[in-house]
Amino acid sequence: MSRIRTFMAVSLLSPILLPGAAAAQEMIADTSARKQALTSWGVQFEELEYRYSDDDEELGVWNADFFYGTDDLKVRWLTKGEYAIEEQAYEGLENQLVGQIPISDFFDAKAGVRFDTPEGPDRTYAVLGVAGLAPQWFEIDANLYVSDEGDTSAELDAEYELLLTNYWILSATLDATVAFSEDREIGVGKGLVSTETGLRLSYDLVDRALSPYVGVVHERKYGDTADYAESEGGSTKDWFAVIGARIVF
């Protein structure tokens, strides 16, 4: 008799319990899917600016980052260049395609290829580098390059942002390049090649997505690189007034 009662109870409760169990399984599966890495993409122009030098030279300059991927793996297209407005010619054009993975809480490693169109023959490089946030909130991007001609060089980009108010930001930048072998065809000597330092005051106009700025930039070449530039009638030291905007979307 007890077996009959148990069977009847299960028969009556099954229509109620089974849909609940199925819904619970769907919720578990949905929760698991949400734990998968989130894919993101974006475009960021760190520099999009007009420069006017103490020698009356006018340049259009950009430094941009296009990215797609997850926190575990990103593909990035990095592009920067200088365009001489009066001569209507590129003074330099660099493109990198790299893959980037995290190696610590604050730093990523990256590897890929770089294509340059400098003054002289084009160059292709293998790229290996790290990028991230160093102590004291310095943003660091360090890279090692090996060209298709067998020449090696390294580049360090550093930036520090001082928040003056919630909207006004003062940014200091340093870009230094060192060559471990000379490449005279493109005007690069062995040793410290060049530095670029900048100071920019920006205003956060649209929630860090649009920040117009003004500033000053100093460029300098050193050693044999400076000698090569002088022999071609170029300058070795330049000061620029700059106006531009940082754009993120």
Domains in the chain (CATH in brackets) are: 48-248 (2.40.160.40)
Question: Cα(29)–Cα(27) distance, rounded to whole angstroms?
Answer: 5
The stretch 82-102 carries a mean pLDDT of: 95
The pLDDT assigned to 98 comes to 98
The pLDDT assigned to 12 comes to 42
Please, which pLDDT band fits residue 46 given cuts at 50, 70 and 90? very high
CB-CB neighbours of 215 under 10 Å = 21
The pLDDT assigned to 207 comes to 87
The pLDDT assigned to 234 comes to 87
Question: Cα(48)–Cα(64) distance, rounded to whole angstroms?
Answer: 8
Mean pLDDT of all residues belonging to the chain: 88
Write out 72-140 in H/E/C secondary structure. CCEEEEEEEEEEECCCCEEEEEEEEEEEEEECCCCEEEEEEEEEECCCCCCEEEEEEEEEEEEHHHEEE
Strands (E), the chain: 40-53, 58-69, 74-84, 89-102, 107-116, 123-134, 138-147, 152-163, 168-179, 191-203, 210-221, 237-248
The stretch 57-63 carries a mean pLDDT of: 97
Share of the chain above pLDDT 90, in %: 77
Q: 144-200 pLDDT, tens per residue?
A: 999 999 999 999 999 999 999 999 999 999 999 999 999 999 999 999 999 999 999
Token duo for residue 160: 């520090």
Q: What is the pTM of this model?
A: 0.82
